[in-house]
Amino acid sequence: MTRYLNLAEYISSRIEQGLYGPGERLPSVRALSLEHGVSLTTVQQAYRVLESSGLAIPKPKSGYFVPAGRRLPELPKMGRPSLRPVDISQWDLVQDLMRQEQNANAIQLGCGMPDTTAPTLKPLLTALARISRRSDSPSLQYNHLQGVLTLREQIARLGVDSGCRLTPAEIVVTSGCQEALSIAIRALCEPGDIVAIASPCFHGIIQLLKAAGLKALEIPTDPVTGISLEAMEMALEQWPIKAIQLTPNCNNPLGYIMPDDRKRAMIRLAQRYDVPIIEDDIYGDLAFRYPRPRTLKSFDDDGRVLLCSSFSKTLAPGLRIGWIAPGRYLPQVLHMKYVGSGTTATQPQLAVAEFIAKGHYLPHLRRMRKQYQRHRDLMTEWVSRYLPEGTRVSKPQGGFTLWVELPDEFDTYTLNRLLEAEDIQIANGNIFSAAGKYRNCLRLNFAGVPNRKIEQAINKIGLAVAQLLPA
Amino acid sequence: MTRYLNLAEYISSRIEQGLYGPGERLPSVRALSLEHGVSLTTVQQAYRVLESSGLAIPKPKSGYFVPAGRRLPELPKMGRPSLRPVDISQWDLVQDLMRQEQNANAIQLGCGMPDTTAPTLKPLLTALARISRRSDSPSLQYNHLQGVLTLREQIARLGVDSGCRLTPAEIVVTSGCQEALSIAIRALCEPGDIVAIASPCFHGIIQLLKAAGLKALEIPTDPVTGISLEAMEMALEQWPIKAIQLTPNCNNPLGYIMPDDRKRAMIRLAQRYDVPIIEDDIYGDLAFRYPRPRTLKSFDDDGRVLLCSSFSKTLAPGLRIGWIAPGRYLPQVLHMKYVGSGTTATQPQLAVAEFIAKGHYLPHLRRMRKQYQRHRDLMTEWVSRYLPEGTRVSKPQGGFTLWVELPDEFDTYTLNRLLEAEDIQIANGNIFSAAGKYRNCLRLNFAGVPNRKIEQAINKIGLAVAQLLPA
């Protein structure tokens, strides 16, 4: 990353920590230049970045200041889902979202696509091409049902960063994280069973429960600390819950990272009620803080966590390379993998293994983490600027999705219709609830490089919201 | 293909048609050279091929003769499965088979691998490599849930050869045929349901039923004409059958092609009892006769056939590119695809689409069809030569698997243990039955180029069988 962006990040984190309060003067260009050993131009560039994110305002001849009126938008309220297991709806709305993703002219703010244009991904494409041309043509042949060994070795190695000790023999490579989740659910549950999920929750999981004939029990979730352990305990006491599905790190859609003590407590709770946990860690490597947060799996001492992840958000979704470390459920998971799709494609596995082994993965992650954090700040600024007063916004700790909450009575379904005509795609909040709650919420993707068009799109969203708000 | 192989095939088909009976003299080298406008050397090469397949024997100074004692081995008997729906076992044996596939030193005669070394596959590898390097990086991104449009267009176009009129909108690309079958079963059935299958039947389907909590009703099957329609009708009359799964073309493991009138009758039967049919056509393009046989789907006039196939047997299994044309069940199938694995990897879809669009697919098929037919003849000859008198052998009409039936009391499980020590892998017959029938049968793969090592392996199988046979 360039120097001025590093510096901008340094200053913005100081502001967020409260070192410089609203209205206060920020360090002078000269002082920062001396302190950090960079040129005056670099500092000026850094300040221009902060200016465009609304974090600093220039005053002629006096330097840069923290905006006086600056306050972060409020966080979304704690979810209030139905407290009973429910049958699942909303598939038509998910299809609607996917249909809109096919509109090449639309500004895609509703999808879960990462930015795949970073130059740090180049070695991956080179590896894909080279493997295609290898004279022994491994791309063409079946491989081990659990996946290519070199890839499982790399996944096990990366697991250390999240506090996990895994061996390649405990890992099964899958077609993306979705197959991992699907296998986990099918390995554990039978039609009619109840699965506890966070509320809101990724729609791919909710629809999976629907397809498997299961009922969802939505657990209230705090936008900063994650699922309510108290509500979870009550639910475990009251209902025959067959499995718990959680996304504790860089949650989609809320962006929280569950604190370690709460993760530990969650594991104890699952042990007490003897329930397995399906953990989705797909965004975990994209936490803005370093080292990355631990997984629930890292606190699991009796093999009850089925850890699911993939390279779809960190590298590229088109590869369809995910994996599952299912603990004590490995035999059932292997059977489900065999009958569900057989082995996973060989070539992308070899390419990802090579990419990690050659040391390209961590530098790429570093770049993307910083990029997404910058984008989050800018997107939050735009949403605060263009959406009506009272709009609540999540503060994601990783990943690239923002959760926006409008007044209770607001209906994003109508908003979506208005925006579709403007070629702007958003994700309606109610697809993130089994029972169709969160009609007043929407999820915005901030992976793509922020530009004038995206700012204009947020402006248009603001205007449309204002138009639909009751007077 | 070279001239002498063409000629060898011409002569062998004449022998099979009975134009030259056992002990009769075959046309002279000179006569064939004149008739076909080829050199004497070419004819001599052709005769040497026939000689090695046991179809011709040279007599000094008199030319070539059809072997006097030559008779084809008898076909396997009609299956006698249990006539009740059964719970499924044998998963441990399937795992055993897969474990043996990991032995790099073994001669793999038990697996379903096609030959991926043909030079006609080269353009596919070139396409894979080129797409990886494309500057817009389509390899990295999600695509349409139904799959890349250009590939669906090509699949629809190829469908014409099997008598199907399909549009791209009716097709869903999947991770191999196994995902197509899995989606079809899950879209139609609930735990406890009964599915009628042929007996014997591909173990991937049987295990799929097990994983979905279904019961299998095995229908007796003729090794030449396929499933018994009479038995099927009785079963439909007697049991609440939820779906029928059939592989009518180049069946795995038996190799039959169901005649068109029986296919038509099967569709009428399904209509009468209002049951959907899941048709597996994965080997259909590898029928030895041209034009290729029609699918059940081509006779289906009310959308009840879910046609599943892939490029795993015709091109390469490592690509994991299959597809399903689910007729009236498209909405359920799309939901299952979405929750099961999301979209399918982009790059191999683009590569296969390009391979077909540029006209490489049909020449490749022609080559493989002829190759596999030659291999079948040679493998049949070796099995007749080396296995004990009374061994029955299927006569596959396409694909690359041979079904070998030993005396009723024979147990291939013990055989397998003996052969494993010799690094020879076979597929035990009982994994092709839901209830573990066919312990006296085995399936042999003849895709690979036949060589001295494979002949020796068949010889060893013969010796081991003789050793195990009761005196």
Tell me: the pLDDT tens digits for B373-397?
A: 999 999 999 999 999 989 999 999 9
User: Which of the residues B324, B341, B354 would you substitute to probe the A interface, choosing the one with the greatest number of A C-beta atoms within 10 Å?
Assistant: B341
Inter-chain CB proximity A345 and B95 less than 8 Å: no
> Using the beta-carbon criterion (under 8 Å), do B318 and A141 form an inter-chain contact?
yes
Q: To the nearest whole angstrom, how far is the Cα of B103 from the nearest Cα of chain A?
A: 11
Q: Are B164 and B215 in contact (CB under 8 A)?
A: no
- pLDDT, mean of residues B359-380: 95
Quick one: closest CA in A to B213, which residue? Answer: A190
> Vertex A156, ends A153 and A157: CA angle to 5°?
85
Model pLDDT, residue B14: 79
Residue-level pLDDT, tens digit, chain A, 471 residues: 578 888 887 888 787 767 788 888 999 999 999 998 999 999 999 898 888 777 888 998 889 998 876 567 889 988 778 778 888 877 888 888 888 888 888 999 998 899 999 999 999 999 999 998 887 888 888 889 999 999 999 999 999 999 999 999 999 999 999 999 999 999 999 999 999 999 999 999 999 999 999 999 999 999 999 999 999 999 999 999 999 999 999 999 999 999 999 999 999 999 999 999 999 999 999 999 989 999 999 999 999 999 999 999 999 999 999 999 999 999 999 999 999 999 999 999 999 999 999 999 999 999 999 999 999 999 999 999 999 989 999 999 999 999 999 999 999 989 999 999 999 999 999 999 998 899 999 999 999 988 999 999 999 999 999 999 876
Tell if the CB–CB gap between B317 and A190 is shorter than 8 Å. Answer: no
Least Cα separation, residue A346 to chain B (angstroms): 6
Residue B344 with chain A: CB contacts under 8 Å: 175, 320
Instruction: For residue A171, give the nearest of A340, A317, A351, A297 by alpha carbon.
Output: A297
Q: How far apart are CA B321 and CA B354, in angstroms?
A: 14
> Per the CB < 8 Å rule, is B343 touching A320?
yes
ipTM at complex level = 0.88
- Which of A111, A142, A213 comes nearest B113 by C-beta? A142
**Considering chain A, what percentage of its residues have pLDDT values greater than 90?**
75
- Of the candidates B125, B143, B213, the beta carbon closest to that of A190 is on B213
Distance between CA atoms of residues B276 and A114, nearest Å: 40
- N- to C-terminal Cα separation, chain B: 46
CB B188 within 8 A of CB B208: no
Q: Minimal Cα distance from B138: which residue of A?
A: A318
Q: Do the Cβ atoms of B94 and A343 come within 8 Å?
A: no
User: Rounded to the nearest 5 degrees, what angle is found at the Cα of B438, between the Cα atoms of B437 and B440?
Assistant: 135
Of B101, B145, B316, the CB nearest to A140: B316
Q: Which residues of B touch A129 (CB under 8 A)?
A: 128-130, 132-133
pLDDT bin (cut points 50, 70, 90) of residue B95 is confident
What is the residue-wise DSSP string for B379-404?
HHHHHHHHS-TT-EE---SBSSEEEE
Beta pairing partners, B308: B280, B324
Closest in A139, A318, A341 to B142, CB measured: A318
Nearest chain A alpha carbon to B103: A144
Considering only CB atoms, A207 lies closest to which of B126, B182, B338, namely B338
Residue of A nearest to B321 (CA): A345
| CB contact (8 A) between residue A335 and residue B182 | no
CB contact under 8 A, A318 and B133: no
Closest C-alpha among B435, B298, B285 to residue B369: B285
- What residues in A contact B175, CB-CB < 8 Å? 175, 179, 320, 341-342, 344-345
Decide if A347 and B128 are in contact by the 8 Å CB cutoff: yes
Contact B339 A142 (CB under 8 A): no
- In chain A, residues with a C-beta closer than 8 Å to the C-beta of B91 are 335
Question: Tens digit of pLDDT for each residue in A262-311?
Answer: 999 999 999 999 999 999 999 999 999 989 999 999 999 999 999 999 99
* In contact, A220 and A78? CB cutoff 8 Å: yes
Chain B: give the shortest CA distance to residue A317, in Å: 6
Task: Kindly determine whether residue B344 and residue A116, on different chains, have CB atoms separated by under 8 Å.
Answer: no
Determine contact, residues A393/A416, Cβ cutoff 8 Å: no
Contact call for A213 and B207, based on CB within 8 A: no
- Domains of chain A: residue spans and CATH: 3-65 (1.10.10.10), 91-117+363-468 (3.90.1150.10), 122-361 (3.40.640.10)
**B140, B213, B335 ranked by CB distance to A116: nearest:** B140
Most B CBs within 10 Å: which of A175, A206, A332, A343, as the mutation test of the B interface? A175
Q: Contact at 8 Å (CB) between B324 and B308? A: yes
Give per-residue pLDDT as tens, B234-271.
999 999 999 999 999 999 999 999 999 999 999 999 99
Report the residue of chain A nearest B114, measured CA to CA.
A141
All residues of chain B having their beta carbon less than 8 Å from the beta carbon of residue A95 are 334
Residue by residue, DSSP assigns B164-194 as ----GGG-EEESHHHHHHHHHHHHH--TT-E
Q: Beta strand pairing status for B215-222 and B226-227?
A: antiparallel
pLDDT the model gives residue A1? 53
Residue of A nearest to B125 (CA): A132
Q: Which spans in B53-160 are helix H? A: 91-101, 122-133, 149-159
CA B415 to chain A, closest CA, distance in angstroms equals 24
Helix/strand/coil for A70? coil
- Using the beta-carbon criterion (under 8 Å), do B178 and A340 form an inter-chain contact? yes
pLDDT tens-digit series, residues A223-264: 999 999 999 999 999 999 999 999 999 999 999 999 999 999
